Amino acid sequence: MKVLIEGHRYELENFEQDIPELNQQLQFIHKEPLTIGKPELTTIADGTTNEEVLKVLINRIKYLQAKFACRENAIVLTKLEESLMWLEKRTADRKARGVEGRNEK
């Protein structure tokens, strides 16, 4: 894994082919304040979210667990699902407070 833009864009190595030109990029949504000191944010680069990546990982571990069940996969699945739950709770709380998508606590 190589950081291209801290917190927003990453280059992921392929597992079997060590050919940098074939590496994949993972782009997270990147938002910045429109105006310094104002809470409104604008999208600099569209991309995915932590929640979407966790959903992919949950699906993959469930698939692998169905084929090659083990205790470690079960624990990983529990922790991934818990992580997703906490991120979704954070978003719900921010929406309830009217600060989702804004540079406010």
Domain ranges across the chain: 1-48, 49-105
Separation between Cα atoms, residue 69 and residue 52, nearest integer Å: 24
**19 or 61: whose pLDDT is higher?**
61
Q: What is the mean pLDDT of the chain?
A: 95
pLDDT reading at 37 higher than 90: no
Separation between Cα atoms, residue 58 and residue 67, nearest integer Å: 14
State the pLDDT at residue 18.
85
Cβ atoms of 69 and 77 within 8 Å: the answer is no
What number of other Cβ atoms are within 10 A of residue 80's Cβ? Answer: 20
Q: What is the mean pLDDT of residues 20-41?
A: 91
State the pLDDT at residue 102.
87
Model confidence band, residue 52 (pLDDT cutoffs 50, 70, 90): very high
